[in-house]
Amino acid sequence: MPSFDFQVDKNDLSTHRLIHPLPASLSAGQVRLSIERFALTANNITYGVAGDMIGYWQFFPAENNWGRIPVWGVATVAESNCDDIEAGTRFYGYYPMSSELVVEPARINERGFVDASKHREALPPTYNQYAVLSDANGYTDGKDNHQMLYRPLFTTAFVLDDFFMDNAFFGAESIMLSSASSKTSFGFAFMLKQSGKVKVIGLTSKGNIGFVESLGLYDEVVTYDDIEDLSTDTTTAFVDMAGNREVLGRIHHHFEDKLVYSCGVGITHWDSREGADPSSLPGAKPAMFFAPSQIQKRHKDWGAATFQDKLTSAWNAFLERVDQWVNIRENTCPESLAAVFEEVRNGASPDEGIVLVNED
């Protein structure tokens, strides 16, 4: 495969370039991972939009104003200068949209390693981990695409569900999710439906309402245009995957004190960030959801192994259903990359999950 690297202008994600760098030379202890494939969803666009705020640009630095958006993918060890990492081993983790990544493995065990490269030291540990694709790590053979596409999003959905359960839904009788067509939202709706403790309302755009209804996971589905038609008879919580300030304002003004909880999770509507200051809105004060805090709490409450068992069991149930809803589409990299990136940036069809496969 010819080497390539896809980079975006950090201030304007519509400007991007494909470059063909020479393979980096390996120092002692380093490993060259040849990237096989990776998934691309709105979540990755959010990494780019929030790159400065959350530090996403620091994972894979680039020169000047160029940035490398992280993606979840699978890679094989092509060359190893590290005694404990064998060539040919496959790892799941965080990669740039590139042909290769050079890492410096540390804390190596049979489950995987952590990249100890200097520029990643200050970044959240979860994102520096590379996991062997093995049974012990909960991976199913032949499910690489599902792993990359859904696992990071479903983990957030699982933790959101647990967070609401743990807090008795903040007293809400209904829970409302924006960007109901997104994989993170419908993963959360999947979990909520199983416990059946609250009514689940999905908010989506006109073009995606058919898809959201067809999932059968939401008790009620409405478009953003019809928010004001929603009943305010019951107490409601809002989980915001869209980050659309205009929608947020309308929800708070419509529900007022009946809105007992409001939290931001995503910004799929990255170009609709203008609107009233969230802290000035009526109803519950909008909060930011931070999955690692709830994970840490559950590690304390239950132990890490029990948390992992519960997540794996929910994940397996989700895996059994998800192909009924979304078709995984593979495109070849690097030639399709720029077009597919634009497709996802502008809002790809929710009934497709996109995986980019690097040419041999």
Ligand X SMILES: NC(=O)c1ccc[n+]([C@@H]2O[C@H](COP(=O)([O-])OP(=O)(O)OC[C@H]3O[C@@H](n4cnc5c(N)ncnc54)[C@H](OP(=O)(O)O)[C@@H]3O)[C@@H](O)[C@H]2O)c1
The binding site for ligand X (CB under 6 A) comprises 41-43, 46, 153, 156, 179-184, 204-205, 208, 241-242, 265-269, 291, 346-347, 350
> By 3-state DSSP, what share of the chain in percent is helix, strand and coil, each rounded to 5?
40, 30, 35
3-state secondary structure of 236: strand
Nearer to ligand X, 174 or 184 (CB): 184
Nearer to ligand X, 99 or 156 (CB): 156
Cα gap 146→71, rounded to integer Å? 14
What does 296-339 look like in DSSP terms, one character per residue?
HHHHHHH-HHHHHHHHHHHHHHHHHHHTTT-EEEEEEETTTHHH
Q: How far is the CB of 182 from ligand X (least distance, A)?
A: 3
Q: How far is the CB of 294 from ligand X (least distance, A)?
A: 10
Cα gap 138→309, rounded to integer Å? 9
Nearer to ligand X, 65 or 346 (CB): 346
Q: Which residue has the tokens 């709105």?
A: 42
Exposed / middle / buried, residue 106 (Cβ in 10 Å: 0-12, 13-18, 19+): middle
Backbone angles phi, psi at 151, to 5 degrees: -55, -45
Bridge partners of 9?
A: 12, 66
Nearer to ligand X, 316 or 346 (CB): 346
Asked whether 16 and 9 are in contact (CB, 8 A), the reply is yes
Task: Name the residue whose CB lies closest to ligand X.
Answer: 266
Cα gap 250→51, rounded to integer Å? 28
Q: How far is the CB of 280 from ligand X (least distance, A)?
A: 23
3-state secondary structure of 270: coil
Nearer to ligand X, 47 or 169 (CB): 47
Q: How far is the CB of 353 from ligand X (least distance, A)?
A: 8
Nearer to ligand X, 184 or 358 (CB): 184
Nearer to ligand X, 180 or 340 (CB): 180
Q: How far is the CB of 245 from ligand X (least distance, A)?
A: 13
Q: How far is the CB of 240 from ligand X (least distance, A)?
A: 9
Nearer to ligand X, 85 or 267 (CB): 267
Q: How far is the CB of 252 from ligand X (least distance, A)?
A: 18
Distance of CA 248 to the CA centre of its chain: 21
Q: How far is the CB of 256 from ligand X (least distance, A)?
A: 24
Asked whether 21 and 63 are in contact (CB, 8 A), the reply is no
Q: Is the peptide bond before 334 cis (omega within 30 degrees of 0)?
A: yes
